[in-house]
A and B are shown apart, each in its own frame.
Chain A
Amino acid sequence: MSDLDLQCPEEPSATGAYQLSWDAPPGAGVVLSEEGDEIYRGDDASLALSGRREGVYAYELEVVGGQEETSSCAVEVAPPSLGTAALLFSTGALVFGATVALITVGHRKSQA
């Protein structure tokens, strides 16, 4: 069984933010790459990323100065459609406006 194991979230990320975690040999430093670019070097066991746009991101983990062994996985970023977002935003504005009106009218009537 391998000593190096990189784990990505199984479900697609709707926000573009997610956490990668890994198992590595005790005390070993690791290098994490995203699409071939190094994004982390150190001895933590996880990394939280954010601000990723829609797409699939491939990650690879290797031990600093170790064997050529690597572990890899991928994350899909799949935000909701802008149409769904606009619909829910409008719904939220409507509910908030109606709630303010409900309280304002009720308060005025109760003061009369």
Chain B
Amino acid sequence: LSDPVISRELGLAILAGFSVLWLVLGWWWGRGAEGYEDRAVAGRSVGFALGTATAMATWVTTNTTMTAPQFAYQLGVWGMFGYSLAAIGLIAFAPLASRIKKLMPRGYTSGDFIRMRFGGPGWVVFLGISFFYALGWLVSMGMAGGILLESLTGIDYRVGMVTIIVVCTGYTMLGGLRAVIGTDFIQSILILVGLVIVGVAAFTTVSPSDVHAQLAEDRPALLDLLAPASIMFLFNQLLFGVGEIFHSNVWWSRAHAFREDVGGRAFFWGGVLWLPVPVLAGSVALAAPILGVDVPALDMVGPMVIGELLGKTGAVLILIVVISSLASSLDSLLAATSDLFVEDIYRRLIRPRASDEELRSASLWLIGALGLLTIGLCWQRLATLGEVLNLTGAFVASTIWPIAAGLYYRATNARAATAAMVAGSAAGLAAYFTIGFFTAALVSAAVSMVITAVGSWAAPARFDFTRLAGEEVGSG
């Protein structure tokens, strides 16, 4: 492969420095945590600044900083702008977060809501979707960390991947959600400052008009606003992002953790701050042809172009941005997924009368086990990041209508919601394999919407929303 921009020694030093920083901060923020509630939902008292920062930073994943360039290189300008539409997911979740907090003041997970609202069958289907998505996201991030370190520093893929996952697992175990949200705040600042510097530096090095002229000559399809795949990608990406956020316990745990008056505003401003990030990260990939960068794999285009554009300094900067974005999402996902296991499987099915200490202990073991499982699944670099990520779109988009309709309308029928998740996922998978990855979420959401709406219209339920607040979920 091409020579790395940063020496292996410098790469290892940066990685070691951030590893120590995150671990120390995780320990520092976690030392005051008392009991499972403090670990799982940070005492339900997170304020606006931390709330906005954690919403934005968690949504800036390595998929944003590495897959946005991949999509720009693959699908052109629509790939870049389409990816930024995932911000709509955060903005649309803002009213839902307020509603969740109001309906379930003692809730812990998205699984709590689905179980109480749609019953056992819907809960089982939802948990299957959630765990599959969580593993897909964890694997895509673990792979991204390894790929990035290898392309920029020459550190072996497996060494980089294992180091990053072990460090994130370590500080999440040490500090729970408090550590996750605290480190997210620092990581969000690093990400924003780093991306602004990279964006400004990139467009003062290569003018956008030169980039456009080169693309028009060499790769006109990337500028084609009517390219069929790119057109389909737009709403697919938007609905994928909405599905990811609406269903995932990463966001529900934050809705529960934020103060009552904070959730709606924090998610809205987190989305607004996130909107330009994929455009900044993705646009640099369009400079690959004019710079003569030979890209050996689609998912390496971002770091390679930035390394070429900005040399060693730029490469160090992007390394810090991606390590921060990776850590801010990986820790959130580890914490939220372990809570889903603890709440919905351990406490519901295995030990209904578990003590606070037992829940805390189970949470620690599960975070560790998830970290190990992620390492195992990332060991072989099997697919490109985009492929791993988009397969999960077929599943998560099927949850949009069951969740939104279930939160607001008593008539939403549990059987229709369950059937919508199953049929939507199946239709999305069929579209993924027969048409292309850029249609899976769109088809899934459409089928799920029709089944939820028609089923609830034909046989309306009379759900009593006070039941959601009445049950002492997660009290141990």
**Which residues from chain A sit less than 8 Å from chain B, CB to CB?**
14-17, 19, 40, 42, 44-48, 50-53, 79-82, 84-86, 88-89, 91-96, 98-100, 102-103, 105-107, 109-110
Contacts and interface: CB of A to CB of B under 8 A. Distances in A.
B239 interface: yes
B349 interface: no
Contact of A44 (B102, B232, B294, B408): B294
Given A99-B404, A106-B407, A15 B296 contact: no
Contacts of A52: 219, 221
| A17, A45, A86, A94, most chain B CB atoms within 10 A | A17
Contacts of A95: 235, 239, 442, 445-446, 449
B408 A99 contact: no
Contacts of A92: 232, 234-236, 238-239, 442, 446
A17 B442 contact: no
Interface in B226-244: 226-232, 234-236, 238-239, 242
B407 A85 contact: no
Nearest 10 A-B pairs (CB), nearest first? A92-B235, A51-B219, A106-B408, A85-B228, A17-B74, A51-B222, A51-B221, A14-B436, A107-B95, A85-B231
Contacts of B242: 99
Interface in B362-416: 400-401, 404-405, 407-409
A48 B436 contact: no
A105 B409 CA distance: 10
Nearest to A81: B228
A13 B312 CA distance: 35
A48 B305 CA distance: 13
Contact of B294 (A42, A84, A88, A110): A42
The size bracket of the interface on B is 35 or more
Contact of A15 (B2, B75, B404, B407): B75
Contacts of A110: 99, 102, 408
B306 interface: no
A53 B234 contact: no
A85 B294 CA distance: 30
B99 A107 contact: yes
Given A88-B439, A102-B404, A96 B296 contact: no
Please report whether the interface of chain B is mostly helix, strand, loop or mixed according to DSSP. helix
B76 interface: yes
B294 A47 contact: yes
Given A51-B219, A98-B449, A110-B99, A44 B1 contact: yes
B298 A89 contact: no
B229 A79 contact: yes
A94 B436 CA distance: 20
B212 to A, nearest CB: 13
A82 B229 CA distance: 9
21 contacts: A14-B438, A15-B436, A16-B221, A19-B297, A42-B2, A48-B295, A48-B296, A48-B297, A80-B228, A82-B228, A84-B228, A88-B442, A89-B235, A94-B446, A96-B235, A99-B400, A99-B449, A102-B408, A106-B407, A107-B99, A109-B408
| B73, B218, B229, most chain A CB atoms within 10 A | B229
B238 A96 contact: yes
Nearest to B235: A92
Interface in B1-45: 1-2
A98 B401 CA distance: 10
Contacts of B227: 16, 79
B234 A89 contact: yes
Interface string B326-362: 0000000000000000000000000000000000000
Contact of A45 (B238, B295, B296, B435): B296
Given A15-B230, A16-B227, A44-B296, 17 more contacts: A17-B298, A42-B2, A47-B294, A47-B296, A50-B74, A50-B298, A79-B228, A80-B435, A81-B228, A82-B228, A88-B439, A89-B231, A89-B234, A92-B446, A103-B404, A106-B408, A110-B99
Given A17-B73, A80-B436, A45 B1 contact: yes
Contacts of B235: 88-89, 91-93, 95-96
Contacts of A44: 1-2, 294, 296
Contacts of B446: 91-92, 94-95
Contacts of A82: 226, 228
B144 interface: no
Contacts of B74: 15, 17, 50
A72 to B, nearest CB: 19
B215 interface: yes
